[in-house]
Chains A and B, each alone.
Chain A
Amino acid sequence: DTEVTQTPKHLVMGMTNKKSLKCEQHMGHRAMYWYKQKAKKPPELMFVYSYEKLSINESVPSRFSPECPNSSLLNLHLHALQPEDSALYLCASSQDGQGHSPQHFGDGTRLSIL
């Protein structure tokens, strides 16, 4: 069982839709992350939140909009996505945002863009 919970597990959406991915952790971790993973590739970092503030944006297109309502929650708002955005979206958390502590992953949202 993962201690990082992601919803939904699967999402199919059209290019004009707006949807949100949600992530929750109750381990008291102060850093949370969004990754994108394509088949047979490693996870690619998208965003890092440290102490509820956005600390890293890896030049992600504006059609992806992260939000951190509190230290336990992380959302990823999606709008006007492209077919190439279809991927597994992973949320992770760690004790710190310094890259010193290991990250714990949720089981991901598998996103398909029609």
Chain B
Amino acid sequence: RKEVEQDPGPFNVPEGATVAFNCTYSNSASQSFFWYRQDCRKEPKLLMSVYSSGNEDGRFTAQLNRASQYISLLIRDSKLSDSATYLCVVNNQAGTALIFGKGTTLSVSS
């Protein structure tokens, strides 16, 4: 099992739609989880950290399920500007670095 797995998509949705991405991780001892966003030919940017109790930032909601070892990202009321690749990130087995998933591509159209 790969350390971090994501559905690559692409997810093609209309403006205003709600879309959800899942990500699974293999290391049950992982303690840190993040979602990053990367636009084409740009650097990854931190979207949000993922906390055990779940957390929300505006239209974005992140959830963590430790029992099933997955994290999710929900985007409500999608905007054209949400089109990007969303990277799931988890700390590695040694707890010394972060491991990136391959990313899920989202395309929001008008």
Contacts and interface: CB of A to CB of B under 8 A. Distances in A.
Interface in A53-105: 55-56, 88, 90, 97-105
A100 B98 CA distance: 8
Contacts of B1: none
B12 interface: no
Interface in B5-38: 31-32, 34
A33 B91 CA distance: 14
Contacts of B91: 98-100
Interface of B: 31-32, 34, 41-46, 49, 87, 91-92, 94-103
Interface of A: 2, 33, 41-43, 45, 48, 50, 55-56, 88, 90, 97-108
B87 A48 contact: no
Q: Which 4 A-B pairs have the closest CB atoms?
A: A99-B91, A42-B100, A105-B43, A102-B46
30 contacts: A2-B43, A33-B97, A41-B102, A42-B87, A42-B100, A42-B101, A42-B103, A43-B44, A45-B99, A50-B96, A56-B96, A88-B41, A90-B43, A90-B44, A97-B96, A97-B97, A98-B91, A98-B95, A98-B96, A99-B96, A99-B98, A100-B31, A100-B32, A100-B91, A102-B34, A102-B49, A103-B98, A104-B46, A106-B43, A107-B43
B45 A105 contact: yes
B95 A105 contact: no
Nearest to B31: A100
Contacts of B44: 43, 90, 105
Contacts of A50: 96
Contacts of A2: 43
Contacts of A104: 46
Contacts of B99: 45
A43 B87 CA distance: 10
Nearest to A98: B95
Given A99-B92, A99-B94, A104-B46, 7 more contacts: A42-B101, A97-B96, A99-B95, A100-B31, A100-B95, A102-B49, A106-B43
